[in-house]
Amino acid sequence: MANRFRITLAQLNPTVGDLAGNAAKALAAWEVGRDAGADLVALPEMFVTGYQTQDLVMKRSFARDAMANLDTLRDATAEGPALAIGGPLLQGGKLYNAYHVFKGGRLVRQVLKHELPNETVFDEQRLFEPGPVSGPWDLGVVRVGTPICEDAWHEEVPEALAESGAEILLVPNGSPYYRNKFDTRINHMVARVIETGLPLIYLNMVGGQDDQVFDGGTFVLNPHGALVRMLPVFDEAVEHVDFVETDGGWEAVKGEVASLPDEWEQDYRVMVESLRDYCRKTGFGQVCLGLSGGVDSALVATIAADALGPENVRCVMLPSKYTSEESLAHAAETAKKLGTRLDTVSIKDPVAAMEGALSDLFTGTHPDVTEENIQSRLRGNILMAISNKFGDMLLTTGNKSEVAVGYATIYGDMAGGYNPIKDLYKTRVFDTCRWRNENWRDWMMGPEGEVIPPEVIDKPPSAELREDQKDEDSLPPYLILDAILEGLIDDELSVAELVKDGFEREVVKKVEHLIYISEYKRFQSAPGARLTHRSFWLDRRYPIVNRWRDSS
């Protein structure tokens, strides 16, 4: 009878710093594997600490505490299958990103990550020492090679493991989402399989951590690159994969291959999951936001309702003398469709009081953006008061286009603890609203059907801070603005390249200028869901003081 080997894959959601809680999740998964007759139960990279820890892992007491929890897991899993789990290793004064393999109450192997990513959201060269390339570890039936995350994106480590006798590649990951990243992952992993001739397990975690969402999608490839198993994206799952030894080596038994949603659904799910986990992991059960009657706040309210349930979302309309009856009606209709609470607090008297207090000082000046920003800052003050009084976390509602060019008031509409649409350009805001009106999934806690009134989506955007104001009074049309922003920010194109693509040089230079002078605002802005590989958080690190401009 052919040799068989069962691996239980635990695609789970850890919480950074909850060492005991993460260890308990790992133990529960191990028990599931034990009851299913597994030979090995595997968890993702740095699971016991949660990921990413950033500089927290450099605190020696934290690393030692994590290692103590690993020791407890080693002892608790002595009777049953092997356990493989990611966590730090502090040894000889050096800190490593390690993968710990326990069996029978003893340590079988500590694999040390060799290739440390140091780009986009990753700073692992700051945190860890690179480990040597080690050989596979043997559980008596099969030899398993473990390239940890980035190790598998480079051919050297998997090839070295294959040459030293590995029969299966198990790749534990902490791989966060960005749009269309799954294609990149699977292409890299297929390349490793073709190069080594070995089956490969790509094991990822799920869940939100600050701006990042780990999207799961754990998959198994057989030799020659055939996809034979895939777990759902974003959902926790503990599943078993059987391997059978054949004349040509080990192969995974084909099982269910979960479908991959399109990029619109994945983006929306990321915004929902990031807010849901940010609130859950920081202890907030409710949120509040300013609902203006515009499209951005309508989308944020919808995301919040889907993440936490409409009963946990407080919307607040804060009308001024410039607020139109249309906006009041649109805010009311949006809240009604979503089933959220809607409170109304007028800022007319507070604005008059503030202008009166400043009238002597401002004598001889003309009204300008100063008076506009007073309105926005008073709204922020009122919303923060509501947040303090009732314990709701305040959500901010600026899209990526506004965040990019500073079309927002610092300490005003930028006030808040989290921004679900921070990485969503305005043109995608419109399309995302239409997508949500046409789609509902069982992971959404908000109501089905058309939840954002079409009139809200279709009307010309306006901050309503002065009479007859429109966004396009100050900015290029969003179709043009977003295309330029994608070029300058996402693709790091030069001014000359964008002009060559057909954009007016004067417009490109204006947008470039606005991006650079708004850096100080973004530095102080709330975190938000990362949807692209050039989001405004860890992906983009520009100086606040910067006199350089592109003269091309």
The low-confidence residues of the chain, meaning pLDDT below 50, are none
The region, left, alpha or beta by phi > 0 then psi within -120 to 50, assigned to residue 188 is alpha
Residue 240 pLDDT: 98
**Phi and psi angles of residue 145, each rounded to the nearest 5 degrees, phi first:** -100, 140
Residue with tokens 């500590």: 110
Residue 1 pLDDT: 55
Residue 462 pLDDT: 78
Residue 283 pLDDT: 96
Secondary structure (H, E, C), 134-193: CCCEECCCCEEECCCHHHHHCCHHHHHHHHCCCCEEEEECCCECCCCHHHHHHHHHHHHH
**Cα distance between residue 255 and residue 244, in whole Å:** 13
CB atoms within 10 A of CB 218: 26
For residue 128, CA distances in Å to 53, 58, 203, 256 come to 12, 8, 21, 37
What single letter denotes the amino acid at residue 366?
H
Same fold, 4-256 and 264-470: no
Counts for the chain of helices (H) and strands (E), in that order: 17, 19
**Cα distance between residue 221 and residue 227, in whole Å:** 5
**Among 107, 102, 100, residue whose Cα is nearest residue 77:** 102
| 400 noted as active-site residue | no
**Phi and psi angles of residue 96, each rounded to the nearest 5 degrees, phi first:** -125, 150
- Which is the catalytic residue, given 25, 103, 115, 149? 149
3-state secondary structure of 84: strand
**Phi and psi angles of residue 433, each rounded to the nearest 5 degrees, phi first:** -60, -45
Residue 470 pLDDT: 79
Contacts of 15 (CB under 8 A, 6+ apart): 21, 22, 50, 207, 281
- Which is the catalytic residue, given 45, 115, 251, 372? 45
**Cα distance between residue 240 and residue 419, in whole Å:** 37
Show the beta-strand stretches assigned E in 379-465.
Answer: 393-394
**Cα distance between residue 41 and residue 473, in whole Å:** 59
For residue 79, CA distances in Å to 57, 73, 75, 321 come to 30, 11, 9, 71
Show the beta-strand stretches assigned E in 26-104.
Answer: 40-42, 82-91, 94-103
| 195 noted as active-site residue | no
Token code pair at residue 505 = 């040089």
**Is the separation of the CB atoms in 29 and 238 below 8 Å?**
yes
**Structural element, H or E, at residue 8:** strand 4-11
Rg of the chain taking only CA atoms, in angstroms: 26
**Among 222, 196, 202, 232, residue whose Cα is nearest residue 45:** 202
Show the beta-strand stretches assigned E in 396-460.
Answer: none
Beta-strand relationship, 106-112 and 206-209: unpaired
**Among 284, 295, 336, 346, residue whose Cα is nearest residue 315:** 336
| 59 noted as active-site residue | no
The region, left, alpha or beta by phi > 0 then psi within -120 to 50, assigned to residue 148 is beta
For residue 142, CA distances in Å to 112, 178, 198, 255, 321 come to 20, 34, 12, 21, 74
**Among 157, 138, 159, 155, residue whose Cα is nearest residue 147:** 157
Each domain of the chain, given as residue ranges in start order, spans 4-256, 264-470
**Cα distance between residue 31 and residue 371, in whole Å:** 63
Fold (CATH) for 4-256: Nitrilase/N-carbamoyl-D-aminoacid amidohydrolase (3.60.110)
3-state secondary structure of 195: helix
Question: What's the CATH number of domain 264-470, 3.40.50.620, 3.40.50.10540, 3.40.50.10880, 3.40.50.300?
Answer: 3.40.50.620
**Structural element, H or E, at residue 497:** helix 495-500
3-state secondary structure of 451: coil
Residue with tokens 């691996």: 7
- Which is the catalytic residue, given 113, 337, 400, 422? 113
Residue with tokens 């052919």: 2
**Is the separation of the CB atoms in 415 and 384 below 8 Å?**
yes
Could you give the residue ranges of the DSSP H alpha helices within 319-425?
325-338, 348-358, 369-390, 400-405
